[in-house]
Structure 1
Amino acid sequence: MNMKIWGISNGSKGSDIQLEAISRALSQDVSYFHANLSFPWSAVAPYKIAELGFVGDKRFKPPFPDMVIACGRRAVPAARYLKRRSAGKCFTVFLQNPIINPKVFDFVWAPAHDEVTGDNVMTTILGPHGLTHESLKSEVASWQKRLSPSIVDGKIVGILIGGPNKYYDFDKLEMQNLASNLLMLAQQGHRLIISLSSRSREDYVNILRKTLADHDYYLWHGKGDNPYKAILGIADHLIVTGDSVNMIGEACFPGVPVQVYFLRGHSRRFNRFYEHLLARDYVKPFEGKLESWDYEPRNATDDIVAKILDAYHEHQIK
């Protein structure tokens, strides 16, 4: 069955990743939109009154899709609006914490650390993503000679570095501490493959280059093609900075040990996420030493898709 789906997000990169992962796993017939709510409606999303922001929106007119998948707070009123306009015929799915009563939607997936509950709610520790083992192998094939051109005595260690956000400053001091810890790995003969993100500060590059000078490493800092997937596929071990739930979740997919470089800051949501991960040995802290333990690939995407299909078929019968 190739149902027609409209995917609506708040426009953030993290929301787009989750939305595309789920929608593309469900159908090839998907149209994507950003909510693009203007003030004052953006200020009152996700509440019902914000639906007024979509009245007259020429993007959302008949014929309506079989399913609407929304992701992010500002996308909530768009899904509610389409459910009402279609007289309930659009099956509505919401990804992440809707903030409002989840019964407004037909199905809700939320990360376990958001503690959302309800008869139509599914939670998982890790979030959905679009990675596949085949796509990682393909990326490794095209990047192999650049990322690891020679035989390595130690391990190939992938390091995924994020940047500041509203919860974590991730300043120069923390970056220097991370670089010093990475230096210890390089001195032990490990090959370091480092990727910075769009949130990474410019001074991270200089700190890494100065600290790791004369050692075996590869650094991608935003110029040219991104080897992110190749790093996930080629690494024997992954180190991830603790500022991104999505990045940590993707690192848990390949099936190699994952260590998190925890940052100074405070977020109850992030703290609950880390508690779930640490309690189940999904990750361990990184403090300058590689840890080894039994590890297996983690992927919640297929389970989420299966639950959505079950709920959709049940809705169709009704």
Structure 2
Amino acid sequence: MIQKDYDREPGLPAAGRPSAFPRSAWVLSDGKAGDEAQCIGVAEALKLPYDLRRVEPRKPFAWFLPKGPIDPKERETVEGSPIAPPFPDLVIASGRRAAAYLKRVKQASRGRTFTVFLKDPRTGPEAADLIWVPEHDSLRGPNVLVSATSPHRFSAQKLKSLRTSPIPEIDALPAPRIAVLAGGNSRHHRFTGDDISRFAAGLEKWGETQSSGFMITASRRTPEPLVSALKTLANGGRHLFWDGHGTNPLPAYLAKADAIVATADSTNMIGEAAATGKPVHLFMPSGGHRKIDRFLATLADKGVIHPFPGPFTATTYEPIDATPWIAQEILRAYQAKQQEDATEARRGPERAQDRQDKANS
């Protein structure tokens, strides 16, 4: 296991790319937006161009993944296959149904392609050359990277650039500006009528007592009653609500926020908020899970999260972003594999000569 050290942020080498830097990459997924965003965030941290490849296995093949075989109609030899060659130097994959395809790429490329899987592939550490999992997951191994938060696309540079760029509709909001990240129903959480009422009432109170300007986003999982309540709040003036049309303003909302309110149903969303260094006020809908509890406890210990509804907190902390570290570890492992392969190739003729000498003796 390779554990993220938050006292050290190595980043990528500043003075050019090493000779063993990958020159081509795929992002491989089964279409889930959150999984793709994590993979793209890592590729961007590597400053590496990539092709986005999506697998779409049919039933019954999809039922048996990740352990079962890939859909024969998506094998690398079939025209239009998402894993058709030429194979890249690096594949970054995520998503349960993509795991078997990643393994197939490794086989079909005769081991040349370096494979990375983000999150637990559910088939063990042998699923890829390198695996990343969040700290609250249980998978461990010598090729497993572990960090408290997930990789994402909101780099420190990107947030800094947006923070200093003029965005009139955001800049006109009263301070403190608060980004409101509303998730929705998930495997472990449900927004009941009481939850929606508590959440909306908490925002209304802050709007009155703090004279806050809210920058509100909802997700595709956000239940309609909650969307309606948030729209009503925004229509009262002094607030923004993104309706899902046009360019997603979330990066700008995070960059410009003095504080953040987020719902506890998405560890990815909370991890993105933690990259800002701004206080994250957390709303707990009904439900929960012990893995999420462990994740939240880690962030609470680091001073990231605070309860919502509750007192407004302006306390900041050192931003938490594992993405550069994950990219660095991928590069380090890739270079080690390149060196190992080169050494093996040099030893090939020597071994052939040894076999010949033995045959002649």
**TM-score of the superposed pair, with normalisation by structure 2:** 0.81
Query: Cα gap change, 1:302/1:213 in structure 2, threshold over 3 Å: closer, same or farther?
Result: closer
2:84 alignment partner, SS class? coil
Structure 1: 5+ residue stretches without partners: none
Matched with 1:128 is 151
Which of 331, 337, 342 is the matching residue for 1:309?
331
**C-alpha distance in structure 2 between counterparts of 1:3 and 1:204, whole Å:** 45
Count of aligned positions = 316
**C-alpha distance in structure 2 between counterparts of 1:216 and 1:10, whole Å:** 40
Give the Å deviation of 1:101: 1.5
Would you say the 8 A contact 1:2–1:29 is kept in 2? no
Which of the two has higher C-alpha Rg? Answer: 2
Q: RMSD over aligned Cα, in angstroms?
A: 2.2
Query: Cα gap change, 1:124/1:24 in structure 2, threshold over 3 Å: closer, same or farther?
Result: same
Q: Which amino acid is 2:147 matched to?
A: T
C-alpha distance after superposition, 1:77-124 (max 9, x if no partner): 111101111111111111111111212321111111112100000110
**C-alpha distance in structure 2 between counterparts of 1:275 and 1:295, whole Å:** 16
Would you say the 8 A contact 1:51–1:78 is kept in 2? no
2:270 alignment partner, SS class? helix
1:29 alignment partner, SS class? coil
Give structure 1 regions of 4+ aligned residues with deviation exceeding 6 angstroms. none
1:5 paired to 2:28:
no
Matched with 2:190 is 169
Query: Cα gap change, 1:3/1:205 in structure 2, threshold over 3 Å: closer, same or farther?
Result: same
Matched with 1:36 is 56
5 Å-filtered alignment, 1:249-264, equals 249-264=271-286
Give the Å deviation of 1:2: 4.8
Query: Cα gap change, 1:212/1:304 in structure 2, threshold over 3 Å: closer, same or farther?
Result: closer
Matched with 2:295 is 273
**C-alpha distance in structure 1 between counterparts of 2:248 and 2:46, whole Å:** 27
**C-alpha distance in structure 2 between counterparts of 1:31 and 1:209, whole Å:** 37
**C-alpha distance in structure 1 between counterparts of 2:326 and 2:234, whole Å:** 41
1:208 paired to 2:230:
yes
C-alpha distance after superposition, 1:221-247 (max 9, x if no partner): 324443211110111111111111111
> For structure 1, which segment, 127-136 or 81-90, has the greater mean C-alpha deviation from structure 2 after superposition?
127-136
Give the Å deviation of 1:36: 1.0
1:90 paired to 2:110:
no
Query: Cα gap change, 1:211/1:66 in structure 2, threshold over 3 Å: closer, same or farther?
Result: closer
**C-alpha distance in structure 2 between counterparts of 1:147 and 1:25, whole Å:** 27
Query: Cα gap change, 1:7/1:250 in structure 2, threshold over 3 Å: closer, same or farther?
Result: same
Query: Cα gap change, 1:88/1:210 in structure 2, threshold over 3 Å: closer, same or farther?
Result: closer
1:19 paired to 2:42:
no
Q: Calculate percent identity across the aligned residue pairs.
A: 31
